[in-house]
Structure 1
Amino acid sequence: MSENRYQQGMGRPEIDIGARGAERKPVGERTTLVTGGAGFIGGNLVRALLDTGRKVVVLDVRDFIPEARFTIGDTAADVPFELASIGDQARVLDVFRVHRPDEVVHAGMILDPAYLATNRTTAFQVNVGGVINLVEAMIAFGVPRIVNFSSIGVLPRVMYEPIDANHPILLADAGPGTDFYGSTKVAAEAMLFAYNQALGLDFRTIRPSAVYGLGMNQFVGPIKAMVENAVRGEPAHFEFGGAHPRAYTHARDIAGLVVAMLDAPGDADRIFYGSTGGEMVTTTEVAQIVRELVPGADVEIGEELSEAEKPVVALRAELSIENARAQLGWEPQYASIRDGIAQYVEDYRAFVEATG
């Protein structure tokens, strides 16, 4: 009969990759594996990591989107790229065997809540099983640290604000507010804590909020259409959503926070919110800023919320970034939404000029 040494009170099993973190290579000698590195946030991550002197390897199910390639710049062609799914354990092990990363940034996931609700096995295999595949590969190859992307979608409803990492994510009468997406993120977070407690895995989790910037997708409201249509001289009119508040966060700030989390001291918190930490901004305010920054912009939005937005707004609240400030020495570069949108406008103009 086998015995579980951990349950028998004999401490952690012999595998303790956390102990190896004390001997981590200097930053300039590290190879960082970035899953989901070919997408919107991924492109900003790759650029920020390269700027620190790291070597970066990207694992994704698709090639770089044009905006990510533009963000990374000419060096994008030199970034080793593995076309693979984190849901495929054998491929993940192959990638680790070939590239021998020193740390991992896990931003690969399926984001679409509607898709996840109708493809539930895939939801588990990728958003939960993918994390397990990465962590098991880290154990096999002695990789000491991972930064895991989660989401504010883990929150069930606002219990207090500003919301910090101690805010409940499971209540007696409510779970994650974004159904299968938020639930898979909660499951992944819980499993990382299990690996930490049992095997010493050194992880940090980031919960980003309303990330915007060049290459963003449609899940953060109409800000993408407002900015990009305005730059192209096209109208952007929306019937609903003006009153919808969000804690907008520029993608460059998310990338900077991830770099800080990779270099976090061993006693730092495990969970950080990716936000600016200030008051929320409504979509009406975003529209006004775009009109001011892009003269002649034809941007309009109605104040009323759509039926789909009404339950989501109940999940919105100011987020605390005090632990990132105190423990990581991190400050958002674009604490002002106006500054962030101005940067987005500038980046999109440059992208259009460069790519047509």
Structure 2
Amino acid sequence: MKVLLTGGCGYIGSHVAVVLMSAGHEVVIVDDLSNSHRDVVGRIADIAGQLPVFYQGDVGDVALVRDVIRRHQIDSVIHLAGFKSVGESVQLPLKYYQNNVCGTLGLLQAMEAESVPRLVFSSSATIYGDPQYLPVDEAHPQRVINAYGRSKLHIEGMLQDISASRPSLGVVCLRYFNPVGAHGSGLIGEYPRGTPNNLMPYVVQVASGEREVLNVFGGDYPTPDGTGVRDYIHVMDLAEGHLAALNFLSSNSGWHAFNLGTGRGFSVLEMIRAFEKESGHTVPYRITARREGDVACSYADVQAAARGLNWKATRALEDMCSSAWRFQSRLSTGGRSPAD
């Protein structure tokens, strides 16, 4: 397939690009580099053995996206371009609606104008809100508690409406749990601009001495050790889930949603201990106040993805931690640090 990959220079997008190209698909990336690095395109090529086509631009730019679709005869889109910080979304909700919702609207207008028949959308388990039961399946009530999750839920609703109006359109919404880790080469991984919003990149930066201490948001949750419990999934398993979704759409139309997770939860303190063991470095931390928009515990029911996509996560927590440290170690020793 000829795949337009939005946000393809980002953390998840770069791993998806590698998996797609390794499977023989042609990849065209559109990324505005607002939270990613231009150098990642070369890193993808180092791993995949060929250079993906790259355009720097806004996915909401209808004219740009239509031109890219026509020029490269795009037949499928994987849409990962979006802001993703829960905490920031609570403080700056308009930023999230403008970028996530309006950007997706522009992409969908371009796809409709050019009759692109397949879309895999990067959704989120945050649409479920504070879980009423565990594990969380796809039928769980959707009760979002932050603007990030609400932006994803709005987009899912848009996609349901559009797919109902276009019977030939196939849409898969992949509801991510918590991606961590890096490619085994150490060439690509999570390297956000500024202060990390996710746990693992902050952990590795503290371990490497780049940051002094890890803030653990909340130590009084109703969990075994008081810290939040999440379903952490290796980013390569997640990337392979996108390939499985694309394969699914080769023979299915309509709207579909699947959780992508491992089906098991780990607490923040468990993650810290596992990382310390794999890296051999201590991670100083301090317990601080809960972060607005967070929940105590969330992990996935993954049976639907196993049945529908013939996919399941296979990589262990140890590999998540060791691969993240391998990536950080390359950066710390001057191994082609991402650049603008």
Output the TM-score relative to the length of structure 1.
0.79
CA 1:321/1:87 → structure 2, altered by over 3 Å: closer, same or farther?
same
Larger radius of gyration: 1
Matched, 1:203 2:177: no
Q: Which has the higher contact order (CA 8 A, sep 6+)?
A: 2
Matched, 1:109 2:92: no
Q: Secondary structure at the match of 2:216?
A: coil
Equivalent residues of 1:287, 1:299 under 8 A apart? yes
Equivalent residues of 2:180, 2:234 under 8 A apart? yes
Equivalent residues of 1:158, 1:317 under 8 A apart? yes
Q: Which residue is 1:281 aligned to?
A: 266
Q: Give the structure with the larger helix fraction.
A: 1
Equivalent residues of 1:253, 1:332 under 8 A apart? yes
Equivalent residues of 1:67, 1:215 under 8 A apart? no
Q: Which residue is 2:223 aligned to?
A: none
Seq. identity, %: 25
Q: Secondary structure at the match of 2:197?
A: helix
**How far is 1:269 from its partner?**
7.2
CA 1:202/1:267 → structure 2, altered by over 3 Å: closer, same or farther?
closer
Q: Which residue is 2:33 aligned to?
A: 62
Equivalent residues of 1:40, 1:65 under 8 A apart? no
Q: Which residue is 1:306 aligned to?
A: 289
**How far is 1:250 from its partner?**
1.5
**How far is 1:276 from its partner?**
1.1
Output the TM-score relative to the length of structure 2.
0.82
CA 1:59/1:104 → structure 2, altered by over 3 Å: closer, same or farther?
same
1:224 to 201, 211, 227: 201
Matched, 1:166 2:146: no
Q: Which residue is 2:299 aligned to?
A: 318
Aligned-pair Cα RMSD in Å: 2.7
> Structure 2: which 5+ residue stretches go unaligned?
182-188, 220-226
Q: Report the number of matched residues.
A: 313
**AA in 2 matched with 1:246:** R
Name the CA distance, whole Å, in 1 between partners of 2:38 and 2:107.
27
CA 1:166/1:269 → structure 2, altered by over 3 Å: closer, same or farther?
farther
CA 1:126/1:237 → structure 2, altered by over 3 Å: closer, same or farther?
closer
Name the CA distance, whole Å, in 2 between partners of 1:235 and 1:118.
24
1:254 to 235, 238, 241: 238
1:72 to 44, 53, 56: 44
Equivalent residues of 1:48, 1:255 under 8 A apart? yes
CA 1:140/1:212 → structure 2, altered by over 3 Å: closer, same or farther?
same
1:154 to 119, 127, 133: 127
**AA in 1 matched with 2:290:** E
Matched, 1:340 2:323: no
Name the CA distance, whole Å, in 1 between partners of 2:50 and 2:247.
26
Name the CA distance, whole Å, in 1 between partners of 2:91 and 2:72.
35
**How far is 1:115 from its partner?**
5.2
Name the CA distance, whole Å, in 2 between partners of 1:355 and 1:210.
26
Name the CA distance, whole Å, in 2 between partners of 1:67 and 1:98.
24
**How far is 1:42 from its partner?**
1.0
Name the CA distance, whole Å, in 1 between partners of 2:109 and 2:144.
26
> Structure 1: which 5+ residue stretches go unaligned?
1-29, 170-174
CA 1:134/1:323 → structure 2, altered by over 3 Å: closer, same or farther?
same
